[in-house]
Amino acid sequence: MTDTVPHPAVMSDESPSTDVRRIGPAFRTSHPLASGPVVQPAPTVDGFVETFLGELNYGQGTLLSQSTVNDQYLALARTVRRYLMADWLETGTRRRQAPQKTVGYLSAEYLLGRQLGNNLLATNLQDIAEVAMTQCGIDIARLRAQEVEPGLGNGGLGRLAACFVDSLATMDVPCIGYGIRYEYGIFRQTFEADRQVEVPDSWLSLGNPWEFPHPERQVLVSFGGTTETAVDVDGREHCTWTPDWQVIGMPYHYMVPGHRNGVVNTLRLWSARATQAFDLQIFNSGDYAQAVRAQTTAENISKVLYPEDSTPQGKELRLQQQYFFVACSLHDFIDNTLPADFDLHRLHERIIFQLNDTHPVIAIPELMRILVDRKGFVWDEAWAITRKCFAYTCHTLLPEALEVWSVELLGRLLPRHLEIIYRINEEFLDEVREAHPGDEMLVRRMSIIAEHPDRAVRMAYLATVAASKVNGVAELHSQLLRDKVLPDFSRLWPEKFTNVTNGVTPRRFVRLANRRLSDLITETIGDGWVTDLDRLRELEPYADDAGFREQFRAVKQANKERLATLLRVRDGLELPPGTMLDVMVKRLHEYKRQTLKLLHIVSLYDDVVSGRVPAEEVTPRTFVFGAKAAPGYHLAKEIIFLINAVADVVNADPAVAGRLSVAFPANYNVTLAEKLIPAADLSEQISLAGKEASGTGNMKFALNGALTIGTDDGANVEIRRLVGDENFFLFGMTEPEVEELSARGYTPSEVYESDPQLRSTIDLLASGHFTGGDRQAVAPVIDNLLHQDSFMVLADFRAYLDAQARVDAAYADPDAWSRSAILNVARSGYFSSDRSMRDYLERIWHA
C-alpha cells in the first residue's frame, strides 16, 4: 500500500499553511514569486564572488579566512546550484502549463559521477568560477577534488542511466529519473595483501549540496500481511491488503541540467524511514536497542546498494528495495504529479515507465494494484492501461542476471502482488493456448511462474508480457535476445521487440573528461559537436593532416602525464613514461575475461625471463586494470588477487623494467575513468562472443582516441563496422562458433596440452612464481581454467595473442596509429546517448 504521509506542519491547526495552492489571490497577483521564479541575472565574476561569499558566510556560517576546504566546496556548489535553480523552477512551471508525455526512468542505479564539474559545464560557468575563485585566493581544482562521488551504481547499468537522463535534459524531453538514495552505495574497494577488501562508501558524510529533501512528499509503503477478497452487490470483487508493517519513503530531488539550454529535469531518489522511529515507552523501560529497532529495520532498505544476497535475508532485502522504490515512484507520479482530476484511462498519454533491467519489474503488479484496488478500475481496464505504460530494457544475456523471485518470498512479502501476478499469468497462458492449441510444452516454457526446481516468478517474462516494447542494447544483443533468451515471446509478438544501441554522453566523457581533446576538436570544426556528435565526422579529413596528427599525439601524451600524476598521488603507483597504455576497466566477471588479459601479460613476461624473446623486442606496455568484484563472488575476488600478485612480481623484476608494468588502482569509479579513458592507447573489450549485452566503456575509449582490441560481441560489432576493420583489432570466435564448440563439447585441458605457449604460461602461474611459491593461492583460478573455463578463455588465447602481435606492429608506426585513433574519434559519433534517446523516442516511447 502507498499513501502520502501528511507533514506535521501541514496537519497542525496552529501552523499557517505555506502551500502555494492555498495562498490567496491578492498575494498571487502582487508577489513577484507568484507567477514564476525570479530571473537569475547574467553571471559576472563579481556577482559570482558575492554569491559565493554569501553562501560561505550565511550558508556555512564562517568567514573566508577561517573556512575549511569543505566549507569552500559546499559554498561553491551552492553558488552554482543557485544558477541552476532558476532554470529548474522555470522548466517545471513551463511543463505544468503545457503538459507533455513524461519518461519515468525506473532504475536501481544511477552512477552520476561528481556533479560540480558537470554543472559548471552545463551552465557555462567554468571560466567565471575559476576567475572568481582565484580572486578569493582559492584553487578551484582543490575544491573539485574535495567532492565525493555518489556511489549509487555498480557499473555500466548505472552509468547508462546517468547518461540517459543527461541526454533527455539536453534534448528538452520531460523526464523524471526514479531510484534509491543509498546511504552507502557501492562499496569502496581497497587492497590488503593483494586481496579486495570492501569498505563502506560514506559518500554523504561531508554533506551533499546537490540534493533537496522533500518530506512533504513522503510516501507510505507496505509489506507482508494478508489479503481478503469480498464481492459487492454488483458481483464485483474487491481485495483488501492488510499489511504487517510499513515504511516511509522520503524523496530527495537532484537537478539534471541540459547542456546550456535552460532545461533542468529532476532525478528523484527515495530514502527509507521508519513510521515510528523511536518508542519512548520502550526506551524509558531501559531497552534502548528495541526502542530504535523499527528505525533500523526500515532504514536497512536504502542502506546499501545491492546487499549481499547469498543468504535468505539478503534476498529478502533486495526485493524490499525493489518494491520500495517503484511503489514510491508510481504513487508519486499518479497522486503527487498528475492533476487531481486526471482521467487515468489516459495515463499512457502522460507517462511511459522505462524498466531499466528486471530490478523495477515489480512496478507492473503495483500499477495494477493501484488501478484495481485503490482507483476502482475493473481488471480488463486496468490491464489495458498497464500494458501501454511500461517498456522493458533487457541488459543481459546471462541467465543468472534475469531475476527470479521465489513464490514463497513474494507471497510472504507482497501477497497482493503475487495474486496479481498469478492472474496475469493465467490470462496470458490462455492467450498462448489460443495461439498454439495443444502445445502444453510451449505453455510451460512461457509461463511467468517457473515450477522447477522451486516455484518462482520469472521477472523478465513478466516484463515481456506487460511491456509495450522490449529492447536489447546492441544489434547483436537484441538479435540474441529474440533468438536465444526470449524466442517463444518474440515469435508470439515479433512487433514488440526492437533494438536501441547504448550510448554515452559526450558532455561528461569528452567535453568534461578530455578538455584538451575537446578544445582541439572545437578549434578544428566548431563546438556544435557537443550536442550533435555526428558532426565528429568533420574530423575525418584531418586524419591525413600531419600537423593535426601531431597535435592529437600531444593531447594524448598530456593526458598520460595527467593520469600518471593522479595515480602517483592517489595510489602511490608509478606509470613508466613512453609506454603504450593498455587498459581493461570494467566490472570483474568471468565472462568479461580479465583472465585472458592476465594470461597475455604472463606470456610476455615468460617469454622475456625464459630468454625466448629479448626484452628490447617487446613493445613497452603499461597494463592498467580497474575492477570491483561483487562481495560474494569468490572466484572474481581470486582473479583480482592473482592480477595484483602478478603485478607485484612483474613491476619488481629488472628483466622487464621499462618494458612491462602492471597497475591496478583500487576503487575504480567515474572520477578515475574521466582521467584514465582519455589517456588510453588500447581498449580491451575481450568478452566471450554472445555474452556482453553492449558495453559503454568501449564507446568511451573510441571517442577518446583509443583503438580497440575485441571480439565480435555487444556494441563492438557496431564500433568495428563504423570505424573500419583496419582501425580495430578483431580476434576470437563468433557467437555461432561459440555455440558450436559448446554443443560439440569443450575440453579446456586439451587446448592447454596442444599449445606450448599457453601451457608454459599457465605452468608459470601454477608454479607459485607470483605468490612466493604458494601453489594453493593460485589453485582456484588455474583449476577453473583447466577444468571448467565456462567462458572459453583458453579457446581464444591463441587468436588473442595473434591480435596483440598486430597491435605491436601498428603501434610501431606512431603516425599510422594516430591516424587510426583520429578516425576512431571521427566515426564514433553514433554512440552518443543523444542518439540513443532519439531511438527510444521514435521506437518505444512515442513521446
Residues recognised as catalytic: 395, 586-587, 592, 696, 700
CB 270 within 8 A of CB 325: yes
- The x, y and z cell numbers of residue 127, run together, are 571560466
Q: Distance between CA atoms of 222 and 298, rounded to whole angstroms?
A: 11
Evaluated on CA atoms 387, 389, 395, 401, the torsion sign reads negative
* Residue in 393, 436, 455, 388 with CA at minimum distance from that of residue 156: 393
Which residues, other chains included, contact 383 with Cβ-Cβ below 8 Å and sequence gap of 6+? 368, 424, 427
Q: Three-state DSSP class for 582?
A: strand
Alpha-carbon distance of 570 to 811, in angstroms, equals: 29
DSSP H stretches of helix in 436-574 = 440-446, 459-466, 475-480, 487-492, 506, 515-525, 546-571
Angle between helix 756-766 and helix 779-787 axes, rounded to 10 deg = 150
Asked whether the beta carbons of 302 and 321 are under 8 A apart, the reply is: yes
Determine how β-strand 175-180 pairs with β-strand 102-106: parallel
Q: What is the CA radius of gyration of the chain?
A: 28
How far apart CA 423 and CA 449 sit, in angstroms, is 11
Instruction: Tally Cβ neighbours within 10 Å of residue 38.
Output: 10
Pairing of strands 195-199, 188-192: antiparallel
Backbone region of residue 262 per phi and psi (left: phi > 0; alpha: psi in -120 to 50; beta: other values): left
CA 538 to chain centre: 31
CA distances from 547 to 529, 638, 818, 825, 827 (A): 21, 47, 11, 17, 20
Q: Is 22 exposed, middle or buried (0-12, 13-18, 19+ CB in 10 A)?
A: exposed
Q: For residues 305 and 154, is the Cβ–Cβ distance under 8 A?
A: yes
Scored b (16 or more CB within 10 A) or e, 307-319 reads bbeeeeeebbbbb
Q: Are 368 and 341 in contact (CB under 8 A)?
A: no
Core vs surface per residue 428-465: b (16+ CB within 10 A) or e: bbeebeeebeeeeebbeebbbbbeeeeebbbbbbbbbb
Q: How far is 45 from 43, CA to CA, in rounded Å?
A: 7
CA distance 467 to 493: 11
CA atoms within 13 A on the CB side of 783: 8
- Angle (CA) 513 515 518, round 5°: 105
Distance, in Å, from the CA atom of 375 to the CA atom of 344, rounded to the nearest integer, reads: 9
CA distances from 261 to 105, 174, 332, 513, 686 (A): 21, 14, 27, 21, 39
Q: Residue 449: which of 470, 427, 478 has the closest Cα?
A: 427
Sequence-distant (≥ 6) Cβ neighbours of residue 421 within 8 angstroms: 365, 410, 448, 449, 457, 462
Phi, psi of 264 (to 5 degrees): -135, 115
For 534-577, give the DSSP string.
GGGGGGGGGGG-HHHHHHHHHHHHHHHHHHHHHHHHHH---PPT
